[in-house]
Amino acid sequence: MIKIGSHTLSNPLVAAPLAGISNSAYRRIMHAFGIGLVVTEMTSAKAITYGNQKTLKMLEITPDEGLVSLQLFGAEKAALVEAVRVVNDHSNASVIDLNAGCPVPKVVDSDAGAALLKDPEKAYALLSAMVQASNKPVTVKIRTGWNDALMTGVEMAQLAEKAGVAMIAVHGRTRAQKYLGNASLDAIKHIKEAVSLPVLGNGDVKTPEDAAAMLEVTGVDGVMIGRGLLGNPWLISQTLDYLQTGTYDPCVSVADRFRVLRQHATYLEALKGEKIAVLEMRAQASHYVKELPHASAFRKGLMPLQSMARVHAHIDDYEADLTRRL
């Protein structure tokens, strides 16, 4: 089992942070399906120090989210330390994570996220300060390097261990790759072999077989799953079954799929209010139905809807139509 400070994960599966997605509604769904740990969408350390109310709202963790890691991003030591102190005092998150892998230009241009891969010593200084300021375990998410000429993943991991972090997650791509090409299992393996603390492998895990291969090839302690969970929380239970027994049921009933979709919509409306929930459910609902017949027509029908009642009615109509056809 993976230990992060005083916390022991119930299984080796971790839900990756997804910007604009890994909110409380999403985290509740992931926990209900048995995820070992779920990481929040990244939160700006500076915004926390400014007392931004929208940002502070992101620090709230409900009891039915399970074990949660709150991810911060930033490049200034003072801001990160103050953000850690705020999280310590005002959040029920069990773990604090530093994002050192986000490839998005607006993050990198602020010297945060994957930009830290260009300066491992700076990352070490930031992590050391966070660890010293925190009464919660601190972890870090990295990539294999900045580009093929600057493969700093091993150095980053070793310095993170020296700084006192409790766990490292490694996305198997460089910043230059962003999300293109294939994640390198070999690069993840080299990083795992360079440190003694727990390491998670991340990248291209879309099936239980992918998760098993990640564990077997790289020797990592756990698997972090990102886009593979969008609209597909069943991947969690399927993967746990596969890792334990070598088999799993790949089938998800139409009724079960729409039951979870409606629950996600309900959670999202309670969290963000009807207007924003309707907008966000256009994307979330699309993920849940992407493999079903006539999904494109369903998605098109969602676009003009303005109320959650209409969204639920549209879901009901689509489910009824599918049930008649199948």
SS3 category, 75:
coil
C-alpha to C-alpha distances, 17 to 40, 57, 139, 237, 265, nearest whole angstrom: 5, 17, 13, 19, 20
SS3 category, 222:
strand
User: Could you say which of 59, 96, 102, 151 is catalytic?
Assistant: 102
281: Cβ contacts below 8 Å, ≥ 6 apart: 264, 265, 268, 302, 308, 311
Shortest CA distance to 94 belongs to which of 164, 161, 167?
167
Q: How far is the first Cα of the chain from the last one, in angstroms, to the nearest whole number?
A: 42
DSSP state of 302: H
Longest dimension (CA), the chain: 61
Q: Are the C-beta atoms of residues 182 and 204 closer than 8 Å to each other? A: yes
Shortest CA distance to 117 belongs to which of 152, 149, 141, 77?
152
Shortest CA distance to 320 belongs to which of 294, 286, 299?
294
* 251 counts as catalytic: no
Output Rg (C-alpha) for the chain, integer angstroms. Answer: 20
Catalytic residues: 102
